[in-house]
Each structure stands twice: as structure tokens, then as C-alpha cells.
Amino acid sequence: MNCTETTRVCTSFLAFKPQPNQTLAVIKSMFDILPDDITVEGNGRDYMFIRKNCSCLSTIKKYVTDTTFTVKSNEGLVYDLVMEAYDGLAFLSNTTRRAKHGAVISLRLFCGCSSGLWNYLMSYVMKDGDSIESLASRFGVSMDSIEAVNGISNPDNVTVGSLYYIPLNSVPGEPYHLENDIPPSPASAPVPTPSVNSFSANGLNHKARVPYRWIVGGLGVSFALIVLSIVVYFCLASSKCFAEARRKHTKDADDKNSYKFQILRKPSFCCGSGRYICGKSGDCKQTSGESSHHQITVPKALATDVFEMDKPIIFTYEEILSSTDGFSDSSLLGHGTYGSVYYGLLRDQEVAIKRMTATKTKEFMLEMKVLCKVHHTNLVELIGYAASDDELFLSYEYAQKGSLRSHLHDPQNKGHSSLSWIMRVQIALDAARGLEYIHEHTKTHYVHRDIKTSNILLDSAFRAKISDFGLAKLVGKTNEGEVSATKVVGTYGYLAPEYLSNGLATTKSDVYAFGVVLFEMISGREAIIRTEGTMTKNTERRSLASIMLTALRNSPDSLSMSSMKDYIDPNMMDLYPHDCLFKLALLAKQCVDDDPILRPDMKQLVISLSQLLLSSVEWEATLAGNSQVFSGLVQGR
């Protein structure tokens, strides 16, 4: 499908029939989607309909969407594996690169954007037995519509294995449910089988001889007990609520209301997704201050997908204390804005635990409220929380490789190897996807307000996750796209000029900070650079953004980058595609534009970075034999 609107982004669908070895986890990885992006077809056809954002690629003037494919074999060619896995939906240059287990391949999928006559277009690969007539009946559209979209003049002349577009006005298929998540219907519920004796003549005669007054008396007593139970329950609830209200609204010395978080006498842990705690077994124990015998049972059939389930996990304070070795200095990972962060080993799972004083109740509750709702592979996952008499604790998934900042700025002295070009682009794309999610795809849209390299964490495979969502750093976005802030929060060097001047945070202020992060990844320098003054001995502070913008003004294209040479991270040892680095620098330049309207949104940045990653992988393929580049790729994936 030809296209020219390169700035347009639409929602599209891809019809995909999984192979027996393609589990839900594999499919989500193949298409880079969440379970909510999948619907399924009934009638035993077993098709999945994948929802993806679609856009026009300027170089080929076709509608495509980007994804990645993880190679699971050491045999054959990458091209053949990709074509077989996606069954006609994928587009990949016919590379002769050999398959290597664990390698991640960037590729494109064919999609389509409707001209306006229909709400969606769905990519469908024609199979044996399919016809225009059967597809029209199957998806509830007219044959004329399918023929018009695909430019078909003869409906009998279709090619098996070719891709066609199905015009749709509604989302195809039905919501996807795990088999064990679907409760049995009332019709299928087992009906208790009455005993034979209950139908015997003696049984009937016995019931007939029961005195009527006994029946009436029994019903009366039962009714009285029920009424008494209800009265007692409401009395207890009212007294509890009244006591709690008195505690919450106590007067302080200045006769002002002091709203205090009611700390549990016996600390407990709850409201977590349980992704990491439940990852190894089917049964997850749950403990509270009152009992240690309550359990959550996870069906074994769901073991592969338990990471997507929001199961409340409860831990005792003693477990948290023990997991951090009593909050020893050896477990300390660092100090954040609102508390210290410790490494912990909780039920054989690595976690990061933020320790806060009870005076940070507002920040604690806000982060809890948001992160219990926001889940994405590129956002650090909140596992749970705990409270004691004077301390609050938040537990997150542990990022084994630490922060992006520690890998960019003087990595050797911090015990880290330098990041390769491919790794940097992949990390930028991961972070962009996390930001796009909170900006566009959550029920309530959010602005982070403190995007920086120290808040972008790296897991064991160097995949990026955005962290630190506390104290109004994640703020609900209004219909106008702006949020009023009582004060400017964040880190200097990353703050957008309009945010500094009027305190209004928008998604575009996050984009500005992300542009500074891109400049850091290109240069390896800090967001604020301190230099000795030329005329005085005083230290001058300049923003990295202003320095990089000056260098770019003197570099009109990627072939004349001499003015930028001094600002490219020497740790990359000149092992990068010059055109791709120049494009990334231009992206960063757009992000830090003084006019927020001229900055791209995160959706556009995800598309651009996906294309950059694909171009970088193609560049890397031309350097076969350069072990330095390929070792970086392997470490980064």
C-alpha cells in the first residue's frame, strides 16, 4: 500500500495464526505488544489479531510498523527464520547473516492506514481455501470494500501467500483471555446429585410429619441471628471508622489539621503485581501481621504468564529486614530524592527496596497509587510496599546493570564496559517506549517530570526501564495537555525553558529532558558541564544542550561533522555509522527546541528510533568480522 503522509500514525491490525511452538510470551516478544493488544477469532480458526501503530516509511513509501525478533536457533539464515515465523507479514532485507541464538533482529511488518472510509485496515495473508467472498463473510464486510482497498479487478484472481488488507469499522475478534482466567458459566456448573434416600417414601413421609411450628420457630431464630450479626458488624465498623477519623484529624500544636498515615501495628506488604516473586513457582505464599498461613494459589497452567498477573503479594517487615541484611551498608545501592535504596533478596528474587521515613507519606501514597496501575516492560515494576511505626518501604524489580548514567560517564572507573552504538540506540528506543506508554496509553495520561540518565535503569540484558515516579513526578494530564505545578521539580540541565518559567509541566517537557538524554548518549558528557572560566578562576556551568546545538549549527550534514568530532563519546572508538549518529543528534535537537509545539511527541520518537535501530543493525551487518562491534551487540541483548 503506497503512502506519502510520513507524519501520520494510525491504529492497524495484523491477522496472525500462531504455530504450535509460539506461546503467548513468544508472540508478545515477536510483535512487541502487551496482552491488551491481542484479540482472538472464534469458530476454531485460532487466529490472533494484533493491534499495532502504523506509519508511512518515507524511504519506501509504504505503511509499516516496527518490531524485533529474538533468534532461538543457531541453524539457518536469519532471513529464513524471520519469514517463517511471521508467515508473510514481515519485511526484512534479504540478508545472508547466519542465525545466532539470542540475537535480536529489528524488522518491519506490513500494515495499513485507512483513507477515511473505514476505521481500521487489517493485514491478512491469503491461505489455501480463502477467497474474497469467504473473507467478506468471515469479517462482516462487503466484497466491494475488500476489492476497492486492494485494487482487485478480478475477485477470482487472488494469490495464496500474498498479503491483502481487510477494511474494518470495529476491532476484530473477541477479547483475549487465558483459558484458566475464564470462570465457568452457570450452565456448566456441576449440579449436586440428590441422594436416593431423599426421594424415598420414608423420606417424604418424615418431612410430611415435621410439625409446622418447628419450621416457623427455626426460621424466626435464623432471622433474629442474621439481624443481630448485621447490627454488631455495623457497630464495630462505625467505631473503627470513628477511631480512625479521630486519629487522622488530630490537632497539632498550631491548631492545624495533621493528616497522618495510619501505620499498621504489624507491618505488612501488599498491592504488588507479584511478577518477580511468583516467577518460579505455582504457589505464592502471602503473609500478614495476623496470619502466616494464607496462600495465593496460581494455576499451574498460567505459570508462563504469571508475570502479567496482578496478584497481591504480602510480606512481613521481618522479611524485608532480613532480605537487606538489616539495611547494611553493603546492601546500599544509593540515595534518592526521598530515601535510600537497598539491594534485597526476597524469596530468592532480587529486588530494590526504597526506605523512606514516615514523614514522606504523601510521596509514598502517590507513587503507590500510580504504579499499582501502570505496568510496562520499559517501566520499573513496583512489587509491593511495607510500613512500620516510623518507616515506609517500596520494593521494585532489581535492575542488575544499574543506571544508564553510570555506563555513560567515566564507565571504566565505575567498573563498567563502554556501551556500543547499537546498545545506545536500543536503550534510547526502550526509554522512548516507556515514556510513550505513560503519555498516551494509560487510562490517565502522565508526565514524569524527572527524566534523566540516572532514572533510566538497565536490566541484565541492558534493556532500559524508566524509574523514580515519586512525589508528583507523575502527574495527571488534562485535556489541554498541561498540568499546573505548585513548584518546579526535577534536575537542572534537563528542565525545559517553559517549565522553568511558568511551572507548567506537559508531555513536551518530558520530551525536552529526553533530548538531553540523547545528547548524553552521543557525547558521553554530563547534562551540566563545569569548565574553568577563561577570564577568572571561577567555574562556569554550561548546559550540554547549548553546547551540542552550537556544534550542530556548524555541521549541516553527516558528511561534514568535523565540528562535532570533539563532542562524540571517545569510548565508542569511532565504531558507529556516521549518518545514524547525525540523525540521532538531529532528533535530540528537535527535542530541545525552545518552542514546545515544534518538539516531536514520544510516538514520533519511537518510530524514528525504531528506524534508526534497523539502519544501525544493517550497518553492523556490513562489518562482519569486527569483533568489537559484535561483542557489544551480544552484551547489549
**CA torsion angle for 491, 497, 501, 504 (degrees, to 10)?**
-80
How long a stretch of residues is the chain?
Answer: 637
- What whole-number distance in Å separates Cα of residue 83 and Cα of residue 90? 6
H helices of 51-142, in order, are 78-86, 132-139
Q: How many CA atoms lie within 13 A of 209 on its CB side?
A: 6
Query: Is 52 one of the annotated binding-site residues?
Result: no
- What whole-number distance in Å separates Cα of residue 433 and Cα of residue 29? 14
- Reduced to 3 states (helix: H, G, I; strand: E, B; else coil), residue 120 is strand
CA 336, 338, 343, 349 dihedral sign is: negative
End-to-end CA distance of the chain: 33
Pairing of strands 528-532, 456-458: unpaired
CA 81 to chain centroid: 27
- Reduced to 3 states (helix: H, G, I; strand: E, B; else coil), residue 369 is helix
For residue 613, give the H/E element and its range.
Answer: helix 602-621
Q: How many CB atoms lie within 10 A of CB 534?
A: 6
- What whole-number distance in Å separates Cα of residue 289 and Cα of residue 266? 5
80 classed as catalytic? no
Residue 11, C-beta contacts closer than 8 angstroms, at least 6 positions apart: 51, 52, 53, 54, 120
Residue 128, C-beta contacts closer than 8 angstroms, at least 6 positions apart: 160
- What whole-number distance in Å separates Cα of residue 409 and Cα of residue 414? 9
Backbone angles phi, psi at 64, to 5 degrees: -145, 165
Residue where the block lists cell 547466519 = 98
Of 514, 518, 485, which is closest to residue 502 (Cα–Cα)? 485
- What whole-number distance in Å separates Cα of residue 571 and Cα of residue 628? 12
Cα separation values, 188 from 42, 191, 301, 307, 401, Å: 19, 9, 20, 29, 50
For residue 66, give the H/E element and its range.
Answer: strand 62-70
Residue 527, C-beta contacts closer than 8 angstroms, at least 6 positions apart: 452, 453, 491, 492, 493, 494, 516, 519, 520, 543, 544, 545
Asked if 99 and 110 count as a contact pair (C-beta separation under 8 A), the reply is no
Q: Is 49 exposed, middle or buried (0-12, 13-18, 19+ CB in 10 A)?
A: buried
**Which one from 32, 66, 430, 450 is the annotated catalytic residue?**
450
* DSSP codes of every residue in 499-559: HHHH-EEEHHHHHHHHHHHHHHHHH---SEEEEE-SSSSSEEEEEHHHHHHHHHHT--STT
Residue where the block lists cell 417414601 = 201
Pairing of strands 174-175, 163-168: unpaired
- Reduced to 3 states (helix: H, G, I; strand: E, B; else coil), residue 396 is strand
What is the number of H-type helices and E-type strands within the chain? Answer: 16, 26
Catalytic residues: 450
Q: Which residues are annotated as a binding site?
A: 354
Q: Which residue positions form the known binding site for ATP?
A: 354
